[in-house]
Amino acid sequence: MKYEDRFKGIFYGVADIVSLIDVNYNIMMVNKAYEKLLCRPAGDCVGSKCYTIIRSRECPCEDCPLLKTINRENGIDAKLLISIGTDKVSLTRHPIYDDQGVLLGVFEIGRIVTRELKMEQELQHHERLKIMGELAASISHEIKNPLAGIGLMTVSLMERLNQKDSIYQDLGSILQEVQRLEKLLEGLMDFAGPGPFILKMANIHHPIDTTLKLLDEKLKSGKIRVKKIYNLKIPKVLIDSSKMQQVFFNLFLNSITAMPNGGDLIIRTDILSQKINKLIILKGVEVTIQDNGVGIKEEDLIHIFDPFFSKGSQGTGLGLSIVSRIIELHNGSIKVQSEEGSGTTVRVYIPLD
């Protein structure tokens, strides 16, 4: 076999995304993985400028490793992280020189790293929540007792005054603020540690239905139509029903708030399974909560589980943080998909094991 044929066989057979690019940014060769990533045949890529094919630009990218290689600004491995569609791709470019040391082009290797980056972001998020939980517990203990003292002294002073007295009114305002701060501290304590869990095997439909009954009047007054699509064969899971009720209360309330003019709240339950050697292994249950409300802005979506993040004038911004914490302590997961103006879908997963 000729050297050139052997090279082509290896080049086209590599599972990673590979290409050859000359010093004028012209694509010389691409493999099957490259075609699959860009959803373009090799004929559309070869001969075209790399910045046109990859980033739809009319001039080289400012952060292009090839440009830096030509200008001798970097070493052999020049890396670049780019977005192609919904994927994040890590590109590594290795310079190719002739016998006289003249740069001919680069050999480019790409790898889809979307999953790795997502996992890294989730780990960072959990670490932030852990630190915030420890900080919240510390702050709450330091403030709780002095705040209770202020409240008691305020009540004591109010009892000595006439209710029509202007000072009485001022003390009433102070008491309201004390009560608001106490409520915030309760939220902080719930976030830091939602209290002891009482885990029992239960049907996930029970805390859902109980929560809907609690919110019945609010749903009716808000003209919210509830549609339940339950999988009646769903198995029981090990949960703290009262804590899961708290989860659904926050999620349903968010959906109601997101539909000020009424709308549809769809609650779906299902079984998640995996097929291994012709056997169906049940993994867990999933609750999907969908509304057709105002949705969430893209730039806000990544922050919704962050403590104290809130776009509303009411609330402390701890609701979803506490929800995330409770689900995490159930060894489950929660995912949110939303688009501004198109509603929101929340998926809560609780494992069977």
Note the pLDDT tens digit of each residue in 5-42: 666 666 666 677 888 888 888 888 888 877 777 777 87
Higher pLDDT, 249 or 110: 249
- Going along the chain from its start, the domains and CATH numbers come out as 3-112 (3.30.450.20), 117-192 (1.10.287), 200-351 (3.30.565.10)
> Under 8 Å CB-to-CB from 166, ≥6 apart: which residues?
none
Which of 100, 99, 106 has its CA nearest to residue 70? Answer: 106
The model's pTM: 0.51
pLDDT cut 90: percent of the chain above it: 19
Average pLDDT over residues 315-344: 82
Apex CA 197: angle with CA 191 and CA 202, to 5°?
120
Distance CA 69, CA 95 (A): 7
> Under 8 Å CB-to-CB from 10, ≥6 apart: which residues?
none
> Under 8 Å CB-to-CB from 43, ≥6 apart: which residues?
none
Distance CA 95, CA 106 (A): 4
> Under 8 Å CB-to-CB from 152, ≥6 apart: which residues?
none
> Under 8 Å CB-to-CB from 193, ≥6 apart: which residues?
133, 137
Alpha helices, H only, the chain: 3-13, 32-38, 42-45, 50-55, 65-70, 114-159, 166-192, 205-214, 216-221, 241-257, 298-301, 319-329
User: Residue 277's pLDDT is what?
Assistant: 63
Instruction: Measure CA 2 to chain center.
Output: 51
Higher pLDDT, 287 or 138: 287
User: Residue 1's pLDDT is what?
Assistant: 44
Higher pLDDT, 328 or 63: 328
User: Residue 265's pLDDT is what?
Assistant: 95
| Residue 271 burial (10 A CB sphere; 0-12, 13-18, 19+) | middle
Average pLDDT over residues 43-56: 78
Span 51-109, pLDDT tens digits: 787 777 788 777 676 666 665 555 445 566 767 667 777 777 777 787 787 888 777 78
